[in-house]
Amino acid sequence: MDKIDKAILYQLQRNSKLNTKEIANRVGLSITPTYERIKKFEKQGVIKSYVALLDLDKVGKQVIAFCQISLAIHSIKKLNNFRNNISNLPEVMECYQVTGDYDYIIKITVNTISDLHNFINKKLASIEGISKIRSSVSVDIIKETTAFDLQ
């Protein structure tokens, strides 16, 4: 990946609605090679998708929470069961398997604290194999980005 590739990806991360001509102008390349590079990134899976990022407040998602989760048993069956269940919960925005005191960290967005309470006690706690849930509620967003540093 050369400097121009990184510049193209940087532009797309900042605003995926830019057309090829605008990107080409910003990275100092003509339109056709810019287009070909973008298509190459899409074909290779470097670009996974194009999305609209929504303002949480404006769509009613007032609460962001993080839950640290431990499983009682670490068999393949239990791990797969957890992964399948957590993947089907629309409140879960992200899920990471981690090292340390907990097995997973999930990011949840809901409308109210009451919704968070219901999510944890009815949906999350009903997943077989979970032994411990620890949750933290975000009180402020200091930095939020979807753009990778490609330097």
Percentage of residues in the chain having pLDDT higher than 70: 100
Q: Which amino acid is at 143?
A: K
Q: Judge if 38 and 74 occupy the same domain.
A: no
Q: Judge if 101 and 132 occupy the same domain.
A: yes
Q: Judge if 24 and 64 occupy the same domain.
A: no
pLDDT for residue 100: 94
Domain limits for position 92: 57-137
Count: domains in the chain: 2
In the numeric block, which tokens belong to residue 104?
């997973």
pLDDT in tens, 117-141: 999 999 999 999 999 999 999 999 9
| CATH code (residue 111) | 3.30.70.920
pLDDT in tens, 56-101: 999 999 999 999 999 999 999 999 999 999 999 999 999 999 999 9
CB of 34 within 8 A of CB of 27? yes
Does any domain span residue 118? yes
In the numeric block, which tokens belong to residue 61?
């998602």
Mean pLDDT of the chain: 95
In the numeric block, which tokens belong to residue 23?
């990107």
Cα–Cα dist 116/1, whole Å: 42
Percentage of residues in the chain having pLDDT higher than 90: 95
Q: Which amino acid is at 39?
A: K
In the numeric block, which tokens belong to residue 59?
């769509």
Q: What is the band of 151 on the pLDDT scale with cuts at 50, 70, 90?
A: confident
pTM of the complete model beyond 0.95: no
Nearest Cα neighbor of 69 from 1, 135, 136, 132 is 132
Does any domain span residue 151? no
Q: What is the DSSP letter of 7?
A: H
